[in-house]
Structure 1
């Protein structure tokens, strides 16, 4: 017997550990008058990488390891339109030896529930060889702080 699949549901802000405010742009809207789906993935990237850079866990110019995206996914619950402001919530769901699963929730400014949520997986690799590399100690510290409180 097949198990019933549950539909993804919006989540509360309390499910996320760090936040970043992002302004929508006129060009983000598509022909249907709402932000195009590809923009959400750009927001995910911005929320994660800006946090890592600000925390000193990622040096995009000189770091020996870099994160490559190997998987992404997004669920949409409500439309976003220019000129609304979005707040991206961030948490870490899984930390491996060389990989991380980030989860991002997008909220309209001040609203309690996600309008979209998703994840992406980074595999950290040596910048020169592009072979998987262990997560550096500072990155491990920053990632640990983003895990949900148990």
Structure 2
């Protein structure tokens, strides 16, 4: 079998942040494939890379940062060692105090999508322990990175 050296590019098209991660031997479980919980760690790594790009939640001395309210994953292809994956992440919905992040994990070895998922990220005031409006600088950074129309109304409910 000939192994591709890159993930299926069409699967990652449109993602403004893409990271590459080697699959570690220790990521596998007794069933000899990457354990399902590890996929969420891959999502987390991509999410943090995105947050670094938009400067959100990197300094907890500031009281407002991101918190994951919900996440889900659809497993499409079992990953195994050895492999390298690319994880694309982007924002598909933006509200007053939240946004939806979407993820795609693509296997370089197999040239296939291994998983897709999303997560609801809420802007959270850690000092006062309640949701908070998305900081204006973070909203602007997301809109720039995603090329959102700044005149469009919020695409998520505010409640």
**Which bin holds the TM-score, normalised by the shorter protein?**
0.7 to 0.9
Across the aligned residues of Structure 1 and Structure 2, the Cα RMSD in angstroms comes to 2.3
TM-score calculated relative to the size of structure 2: 0.77
1:138 is aligned to 137
Matched pairs, number: 140
What is the distance in 2 between the residues matched to 1:43 and 1:83? 16
CA deviation after TM superposition for structure 1 residue 142, in Å: 2.7
Contact kept? 2:11, 2:106, Cα under 8 Å: no
The corresponding residue for 1:123 is 122
Q: 1:145 to 1:33 in 2, by over 3 A?
A: farther
- Structure 1 unpaired stretches of 5+: 1-10
Pair 1:70-2:39 in alignment = no
Structure 2 residue runs without a partner (length 5+): 1-9, 150-159
Q: TM-score, normalised by structure 1?
A: 0.82
**Are residues 32 and 145 of structure 1, via their aligned partners in 2, closer, same or farther at CA, if it must alter by over 3 Å?**
farther
Alignment check: 8 A CA contact 2:56 2:66 kept: no
- Tell me what 2:24 maps to: 25
Deviation (angstroms), 1:134: 1.0
